[in-house]
Amino acid sequence: MPVNNLEKIERAQRGYENTGACLEDEFVGHINRQNYNELAYNFLNADEIERINKIQNPDDKFSGILKIKDRAQKYFEDTLDVIDRNKYINYENSMKLVERCQIGNPEKPNKFFSRALYNYIKERFDDQYILKFFTAAGGSHLDIKHGVDCFF
pLDDT tens column, 89-144 = 899 999 999 999 999 999 999 999 999 999 999 999 877 889 999 999 988 889 88
Determine the pLDDT at residue 105.
Answer: 95
Report how far apart the first and last C-alpha atoms of the chain are (Å, whole number).
Answer: 50
Rounded distance between C-alpha atoms, residue 40 and residue 133, angstroms: 21
- pTM, whole model, 2 decimals? 0.72
Q: pLDDT by residue (tens digit) across 42-51?
A: 888 888 888 8
Contact yes or no for 130/24 (Cβ under 8 A): no
- 45 vs 69: CA distance, rounded Å: 11
pLDDT at res. 85? 54
pLDDT of 132 reads 95
**For residues 68 and 45, is the Cβ–Cβ distance under 8 A?**
yes
What pLDDT digit, counting tens, does each position of 34-73 carry?
888 888 888 888 888 888 888 889 888 888 888 877 777 6
Distance (Å, whole) CA 28 – CA 3: 36
Q: At what angle do helices 33-44 and 91-99 cross, to 10 degrees?
A: 140
For the chain, the C-alpha Rg in angstroms (whole number) is 19
